[in-house]
Structure formats: structure tokens, C-alpha cells
Structure 1
Amino acid sequence: MKNLALIILLGLVLVGCKVGPKYEKPEMQQPPKYTQAATSTDSITNLAWWEVYQDETLKGLIQTALDSNLNLLQAAARVEEAKATLGFNKANLYPMLNYNALGRAANFRDFAQDAGVAFSPNMLAVLGNVSWEIDFWGKLRRANRAAFAEMMAAEEARKTVYISLVAQVAELYFNLRGLDERLAITKRTHEIRLEYLDIISKRFEKGNVSELDKLQAQQIAAAAESQIYALERQIIYVENALNVLLARPYRPIERGKENQDQTLPLDIPVGLPSELLVRRPDIQAAEQRLMAQTERIGIAVAMRFPSISLTGMMGVASPSLSNLFTPEAVLGTVTGQLTGPIFNFGKNKRRVDVERARAVQSAYEYEKTVLTAFAEVENSLAEIRTYRNEFNARRVQKAATEKSLFLSKALYDNGYTSFLQVLDAERESFNAEFEKSVALENQLVATVRLYKALGGGW
């Protein structure tokens, strides 16, 4: 027993030795500020950003998605898997205790001999087995830290799915409300064009206009009708996409505010670029995966060195039950074992090379994730600025085309211009209103993308 204690104590003293590289965070060149930012550098870390729009229907859809979305549930299950894997690796750090009970009888010795089977004498035994691999080179500790980093990466990946899910629901919702608006515009335009067609047809019957005017009126009315069907089809597509995110079969999506009634934040605090590295979960996940891969290099290096393990057995054994728990029946053994590679044709060295190459890949992936994050923020800031300006320009365009249409109708009715000019003015008016709706939708979506690019308020 004393020898066993000394060996275990020696193992604990030696367990502090580790081989392999230490993790070093990659050096990244960071811009001092966002070039497209015209707002303050305050943080939005604690902001539930989708509440900015003050649309209760949108909030309800987002909450339903957060409760039911299959991708998010799958990501949560991966976190639980990573936690279980961490627990599995932690167990390897400690001694393992197993038990073994044996009962053997030779009551039928004569029958057994006739059958050609040899039995040993009666034996009863209760044994406990202890085995422990001393983590001399840090292999098990590195495996434990790699599992912990993978668990953290899985948690950050879950946050990424969360942020993406909220953004997808909001984007599709604004897309849906934009399509609703454009469908209403197109239906109204179709009704107006049918009125044109009716008037022109009556004038044609009276010989006041040429057949060309009638055909042109038919053409633009049919164009508006076909646009209605195309928009209805797109609405079904968007509703189906939303229902998939909500984890339910198709049903019409409930509507809240129209896009023109949504509250648009004028200034969104974007923070500093350096804050993005800790705010965005996909960056955190990439770094955790790099940490895990660095630990795996140490595991591979440790596998090139001998492993030290202790095994011990203690229990009682006796031919009779009455003597099983007497001092004479007690037995025990302690064994130390040293195993290591000698010549494996470079296999162990190549294992280290493989893990190092994977670590290089993980480092590049981390750098790419950071650069992509900076680019997404810059793009979103540019989108907000340009779509806001575009929307204002579209409003001016719409007002001008409405006045142009009014004047063209007056000139046509008094015989000063052709019906073609009226049609051109009407088409310009319709297109301007249509594009104004698209610009407003894009402006709303751009704010969603900025919040997502900034880390979604985590």
C-alpha cells in the first residue's frame, strides 16, 4: 500500500510536464474606425434590436421562431453533445475503478471429467480494479481543453444561428410587407388601366381614336395583370420561407405594420472595430476552434512519448464463503506500465504535421471570419446611407411623375398630344411608385443587416 501511495504521489508531481505549443491569438490588422460610419461609437450590446421597429406582429413571429426553429434546436443539441464530450474527456484525467465478482463451482467433477471438461476447484472472489494513466506529457489535459474549446465554439455557433434566425425573420417580414405594398400598387394601377381601356375602346367605336390607341391600352392593362400574378407568386414563396423558419406547415403569415409605418432608427451606434472581435459570436467560435486545434497539436506531440499507467487490484478470494472476508483472503497487486513507440515509419511525426496543418487552416479561417465581419459592417453602413438617399430621391421622382401624368392626360384630352405620351407618363408614374416601395424595403432590411453584422446585440 505504501508503495502504491508513493507511485501515485510521484505521478502527481510529474503530471505538470506538458509538450506542444501554447495558444497565441493571431495578430489582425484592425481599422481604427468604420469608414462608412457617420454615427457615434456607442455600443449596442444590450439592445434587443428588433423592438426598435415597434411592430408587435414582427416581435411575435421572432419569438415563435426562437421557440420552434429546427436549426436553432439542432444547434442547442450540438451544445449538449459538446458538453457531454467534455465530460467524457474530463473522466480520463482521473483513476478508473471497476469491480469484478467471481463464483466458480466444481460440484459436478465426475460428470465433467466424463465429458472431457476440466474444472478448477471451488472459488469465490470479489475484486476491485483501479487503472490510471498518469498525464505526464499533458495529453489528457490538452484533450480536455480541446473539448472545452469545442463546447464554447458550439455555444457561439448557437448564438450565430440565433442572430441569423432573428435577422432572417425580420428580413422576410419586411420583404413580405413590401410585396404586399407593391401588389396593392399594381392592382390599383391595373384598375386605372382598365378604365383607360374602356374609355379608349368607346372612343375607337365612335371613330375618335385609332386602333393603335386601343391596342396600346390593352397592352399596358395586360402587363399590369401579369405583374399581379407574379407578385402573388412571390408572396407565397416568402410566406413559405417564413413558415419554414417558424417550423410549421404553410399558413398565411399574419401582418402588422406596413413598411411605411415602421419606426426607422436614424442613428445606430456601431461601436469600434476592435469591439467586433468580442461581440460577434462567429468570430468567437472561429477562435475557439483555433484554440482546440492548437491543443490537438500538443496531443499529437505527446503521443510520440511514452505513456505511464498504473493498475492496481485489491479484493478477497477464498474457496469457501465463510472464509471470504477473513484477513487471510485479502489480496492485492500494483503494477506500473511504461509503453511507447519505437519505430512506426514516421507515423507519429506525420500525425503532428497533420494537426499543425489543420491549425494553420483554422488560423486562416479565423482571419477570414474577422475580415468578413468588418466588410459586412461597412457594407451595411453603406446600404443604410445609400438606400436612405435613394428613397428620398424616389419620393421626388414619384411626385414629378404624378404631375407629368396629370399634364399628359390634360393635353391628350384636348388633342394636343398622342395617347402614347399618356401611356409613357403612366408607366413612369407606376415604376416610380414601385421603386419607391423597393427602396423603403431595402432601407429596412439594411438596418437588420447592420444589427446582424454588429453581432445582433449580444
Structure 2
Amino acid sequence: MYKIKLYRCLIPLGVFLSVISCKAPAITTRTTTNNALPELYSNNKDTSNTSTIPWKNFFKDKNLVNLIDIALTNNQELQITLQEIEITKNDIRIKKGEILPKVGVRAGAGVEKVGRYTSQGAGDASTEITPGKEMPDPLMDYTLAAYANWEVDIWKKLRNSKKAAVSRYLSTIEGKNFVLTNLIAEVANSYYELLALDSQLNIVKQNIELQKNALEIVKIQKETARATELAVQKFQAEVLTSKSMEFEILQKIKETENRINFLLGRYPQEIIRDKNNFLNLQPSAIDSGIPSQLLANRPDIKQAELELAAAKLDVKIARAEFYPSLAISAGIGLQAFKTSYLLTFPESILYSLAGDIAAPLINRNAIKAEFNNANSRQIQAMYNYERTILNAYLEVSNQLSKINNLEKSYDLKWQQVNALNRSIDVSNDLFKSARVDYFEVLMTQRDALESKLELIETKKEQFNATVNVYKDLGGGWK
């Protein structure tokens, strides 16, 4: 009777709490938006996109493919990211569990001794449980029951929380894909840098041999009074400079090898590679497609999009905190002060059912502050999404321009190297016949060496630009 009256009181109380708490702040949105993606990178309307090519087909060098395979297995940063995925997957299970009722089983035993001269003790002492037998003193208590608690998800707070967890889980998967494409690009760029250093080392060694030959000629000319000691010392200095450069390149080779080994998650060892004919290698052809394809191909864009979706759900969750919540609890089981009475029905049966409606009154300012924070984080996520798209477009645009300009620069440098190679032969012949002095020979050899090193550097930049645009288009993770 009293319980029925209590629930009759809860109904109007719940209505009252709903009315006073339903006034929640509005969700603010941005007032300005950025322009949409351009339709094209240039005048090319071809939708063919290199990013759809698997990385094993994009890279033709078998040694490089083997290195990338090892990196994808052993790289520590990638393994850390994979554990982040497991963490967010477990978060989904946690949020899913909050939606369902919490059901448990409880078994317990206890003893209670109350004072005889208390209201409870006086009442128990006079109670006859069977004819001629009073209530036991002390009193035991045995319980075997099942219980359940359930928060009714009226305002979809718990369901939105689960959806947000799913979005963040998918976001971490895209984050893993972004780590993959960056890892592949970093290994490839370091590998091509290593090949370039090998080629530069060969050029320096060849130049040392040329300088040594010239030094021997100068020494002979000095003996015949056709050259001075100054010329001998100048050539000797050039030889020593080139030898010093050789050791500098050897150090760079060691550091680059170690960088690759670090990416591969292993201790230093030699990187297997073909050290010859670097200048004869050709970068892969690139099809850029159209900018809108970045939205589907770039993992960082999809990651930012999913983070934005999760942030929007967080705002809804925070807004639901202003509304009253309904919680239901229930229990059923057996309870008696003697084990033999536990199976005495219906006397030993216990059950309960209760509903609670709660709404925030005093702490609304704290809830409003959390709502405002969630709203601001949503706007941050929107700006981050737009910034990620803008950055992706600019990265591709820069790399496409770089590929075009490097191709033209490489052709000119190649012509420069050929001209300086011919000038070395001419200067040596003229020097032998005393028609030019040693200074011109030195300068010609120095210019030729610099131009060859620059040619190799340009070739390396061509490969790096190709790798980077493949990464920037969203290739490598598929």
C-alpha cells in the first residue's frame, strides 16, 4: 500500500523534474566555412590515381620491398599504434556494457546480535517462530539472490557514447593506416638517400684517382722546371680535400643505414642494395587523379572526419546530462536466518523493485561548463578536418610541381656534367702541353666534381618527390 503511494508520488515528481531540466543550451555551430576543394590540380582531368597501386607494385626494387616488409612487421611505432586499436576496441565493449542491465548474483552469510533492551531486541525476544520457540539470539542471516540495475537510456546518452567509441575505434584504424603510409615512405626515402650516397662515394673515389694522376704530372713537371712547388702543394691539397669528403660520405652512409635499421626495428647491420647505376634508375610515373579522391584515399583525412563525428556525439552526450535520468533496480532471491528455512516457500522469498528519477539542480553550472567544452572541442575538430584537407591538397600540389621542376633541372645538370667531363680532358691535355696553368685544371676538376654530386642529389630528390607524392595521394596503406 505504501509502495503504491510512493510510486504515485514519483510520477508527478518525474514530470516536474523533466520540466525544470529540459531547458538545455543550444549547440553552437560555425558561422563561416572554407571553400570546397578545387576540382583539378592542373588542367589534367584524368581520374587515374597512383595511390590505388599497392606499394609492392609501386616499388620495383626487390631489396627495397624486402626492407619495407620487415619494417611493417617489426617497427615499434606501428606496434604501438596497433595496441591503440585494441584499447579503443575495448572501449566499445565498455560503452556497450553500460547500455545493458547490470545483472549479478550475491550469496552471503552474517550474524547479528542486538541489545535485549532495544526496540528491536525487545520485539525479537517475544517472537515465536514455532510454538514454544523464540527468535534465535544471536540472529543469523543467509542470503542467495540475483539483482539487476539498469539506467534507461531515454535521451540516447549511452547509445551516443557507444557510437562515439566506435568512431574513435575506426579513427585509430585510419591512424594506423596513416602510420603505415608514412613508414613506407620514410623507408623508401632513406633507401634512395643511401643509394645516392653510394653513388657520390664512387664519384669522389674516381675524382681522387684523377687528382692523383694530375698530382703525379705536376711533380714530373716540377722536376723539369715546368711547374713550381706551389702547384704541387695545391694539387696535394685537393687530393686531401677529396679524401676528407670521402670519409664524410662514409659517415653519412653509416647514419642512413642505422636510420633504416631503426625503422626496421633491428640493431645495426648492412643494408642489402645495388650500389651501382643509381643515375640510370628511373622514378615511377605518377597519376595524380583529382583532388576529391583525397577524401577517400588519405587516412589522415578519414581519421579527422571520424574524430569530428565522435566530437559531435560528445556534444549530444553532454547535452543529455541536463535531462533527468531514470534508473531501475530489482532483486529476487532467498533469505532466512537458518539454512534449513532457505527453501521454505513463500516465506523465504525476497524481491524488490525500485525506480529512481534524478535531475540536476544545484550543479547545472558544472554540467553547462562540460557541455561548452564539448561544443568547443567539436568546433576544434571541424577546423582540424578542414585544415587536414587543405594540407593534403597543398602537399600534393607542391610535390607535383617539384617533380616537374626537378625533371627539367636534372636534364640541365646532365648537360652540365657532360660539358665539364669534356672540359677535364681538354684541360689535362692543355696542361700537359703547358698551354694552361694548374689553377684552371684544379678549378675544372672541382667544378666537375660539384656538378656530379649535384646531379646525384637531384636524382635522389626526384625519387623522394615521387615517393612523397605517392604518400600524399594516400598510397601505401591498402
Looking at structure 2, the residues matched to 423 and 90 of structure 1 have their Cα atoms a distance apart, in angstroms, of: 77
AA in 2 matched with 1:299:
I
Looking at structure 1, the residues matched to 251 and 329 of structure 2 have their Cα atoms a distance apart, in angstroms, of: 71
CA deviations on 1:228-261 (whole Å, 9 max, x unpaired) are 1110111111111101100011111111375334
Looking at structure 2, the residues matched to 53 and 73 of structure 1 have their Cα atoms a distance apart, in angstroms, of: 24
CA deviations on 1:407-441 (whole Å, 9 max, x unpaired) are 11222222211111111111121112111111111
In the alignment, which residue of structure 2 is the partner of 1:369?
A: 388
- The structure 1 residue matched to 2:41, chosen from 34, 38, 50, is 34
**2:57 matches 1:55:** no
AA in 2 matched with 1:164:
N
Looking at structure 1, the residues matched to 416 and 94 of structure 2 have their Cα atoms a distance apart, in angstroms, of: 66
Contact 2:198 2:275 in 1 (8 A): no
Looking at structure 2, the residues matched to 83 and 412 of structure 1 have their Cα atoms a distance apart, in angstroms, of: 76
Q: 1:63 to 1:200 in 2, by over 3 A?
A: same
In the alignment, which residue of structure 1 is the partner of 2:97?
A: 91
Counting matched residue pairs gives: 435
In the alignment, which residue of structure 2 is the partner of 1:104?
A: 110
Deviation at 1:444, TM superposition (A): 0.9
Q: Percent identity?
A: 27
* Structure 2: runs of 5 or more not aligned: 5-9, 11-17, 116-135
In the alignment, which residue of structure 2 is the partner of 1:68?
A: 74
Where do 1:310-329 residues align within 5 Å? 310-328=328-346, 329=348
In the alignment, which residue of structure 1 is the partner of 2:154?
A: 136
In structure 1, the residue corresponding to 2:322 is in which secondary structure? coil
Looking at structure 1, the residues matched to 59 and 175 of structure 2 have their Cα atoms a distance apart, in angstroms, of: 26
Looking at structure 1, the residues matched to 46 and 442 of structure 2 have their Cα atoms a distance apart, in angstroms, of: 48
Looking at structure 1, the residues matched to 45 and 408 of structure 2 have their Cα atoms a distance apart, in angstroms, of: 16
Looking at structure 2, the residues matched to 53 and 314 of structure 1 have their Cα atoms a distance apart, in angstroms, of: 67
CA deviations on 1:197-218 (whole Å, 9 max, x unpaired) are 2221232234220222112202
AA in 2 matched with 1:404:
S
Looking at structure 1, the residues matched to 106 and 144 of structure 2 have their Cα atoms a distance apart, in angstroms, of: 6
CA deviations on 1:329-367 (whole Å, 9 max, x unpaired) are 222110101112112262111111111111111111111
In the alignment, which residue of structure 1 is the partner of 2:407?
A: 388
- The structure 1 residue matched to 2:262, chosen from 241, 244, 257, is 244
Looking at structure 2, the residues matched to 287 and 150 of structure 1 have their Cα atoms a distance apart, in angstroms, of: 10
For structure 1, which segment, 46-55 or 367-376, has the greater mean C-alpha deviation from structure 2 after superposition?
46-55
Contact 1:243 1:250 in 2 (8 A): yes
In the alignment, which residue of structure 2 is the partner of 1:180?
A: 198
Contact 1:53 1:264 in 2 (8 A): no
Contact 1:56 1:256 in 2 (8 A): no
- The structure 2 residue matched to 1:264, chosen from 273, 280, 283, is 283
Looking at structure 1, the residues matched to 237 and 475 of structure 2 have their Cα atoms a distance apart, in angstroms, of: 48
Deviation at 1:165, TM superposition (A): 0.5
Q: 1:95 to 1:28 in 2, by over 3 A?
A: farther
AA in 1 matched with 2:444:
A
In the alignment, which residue of structure 1 is the partner of 2:222?
A: 204
Contact 2:51 2:470 in 1 (8 A): no
Where do 1:207-222 residues align within 5 Å? 207-222=225-240
In structure 2, the residue corresponding to 1:252 is in which secondary structure? coil
Deviation at 1:50, TM superposition (A): 4.6
AA in 2 matched with 1:394:
K
Deviation at 1:144, TM superposition (A): 0.8
Looking at structure 2, the residues matched to 270 and 205 of structure 1 have their Cα atoms a distance apart, in angstroms, of: 64
Deviation at 1:300, TM superposition (A): 1.1
Looking at structure 1, the residues matched to 239 and 274 of structure 2 have their Cα atoms a distance apart, in angstroms, of: 31
CA deviations on 1:111-150 (whole Å, 9 max, x unpaired) are xxxxxxx975122211111000011112111111111111
- The structure 2 residue matched to 1:433, chosen from 432, 452, 468, is 452
Looking at structure 2, the residues matched to 265 and 253 of structure 1 have their Cα atoms a distance apart, in angstroms, of: 22
- The structure 2 residue matched to 1:193, chosen from 196, 211, 222, is 211
AA in 1 matched with 2:66:
G
- The structure 1 residue matched to 2:178, chosen from 160, 163, 167, is 160
In the alignment, which residue of structure 1 is the partner of 2:312?
A: 294
**2:416 matches 1:409:** no
Looking at structure 2, the residues matched to 22 and 141 of structure 1 have their Cα atoms a distance apart, in angstroms, of: 22
Q: 1:203 to 1:45 in 2, by over 3 A?
A: closer
AA in 2 matched with 1:29:
A
Looking at structure 2, the residues matched to 271 and 193 of structure 1 have their Cα atoms a distance apart, in angstroms, of: 50
**2:439 matches 1:420:** yes
Q: 1:138 to 1:303 in 2, by over 3 A?
A: same
**2:474 matches 1:455:** yes
AA in 1 matched with 2:83:
A
- The structure 2 residue matched to 1:442, chosen from 427, 438, 461, is 461
Looking at structure 2, the residues matched to 225 and 50 of structure 1 have their Cα atoms a distance apart, in angstroms, of: 39
Q: 1:182 to 1:39 in 2, by over 3 A?
A: farther
In structure 1, the residue corresponding to 2:50 is in which secondary structure? coil
Contact 1:69 1:247 in 2 (8 A): yes
What is the Cα-based RMSD across aligned positions, in Å?
Answer: 2.7
Structure (1 or 2) with the larger CA radius of gyration: 2
In the alignment, which residue of structure 2 is the partner of 1:114?
A: none
AA in 2 matched with 1:43:
N
In structure 1, the residue corresponding to 2:304 is in which secondary structure? helix
TM-score by length of structure 1 reads 0.89
For structure 1, which segment, 283-292 or 43-52, has the greater mean C-alpha deviation from structure 2 after superposition?
43-52
Looking at structure 1, the residues matched to 254 and 106 of structure 2 have their Cα atoms a distance apart, in angstroms, of: 65
Q: 1:392 to 1:49 in 2, by over 3 A?
A: farther
For structure 1, which segment, 446-455 or 311-320, has the greater mean C-alpha deviation from structure 2 after superposition?
311-320
Looking at structure 2, the residues matched to 129 and 265 of structure 1 have their Cα atoms a distance apart, in angstroms, of: 66
Looking at structure 1, the residues matched to 444 and 211 of structure 2 have their Cα atoms a distance apart, in angstroms, of: 12
Looking at structure 2, the residues matched to 423 and 257 of structure 1 have their Cα atoms a distance apart, in angstroms, of: 28
Contact 1:39 1:269 in 2 (8 A): no
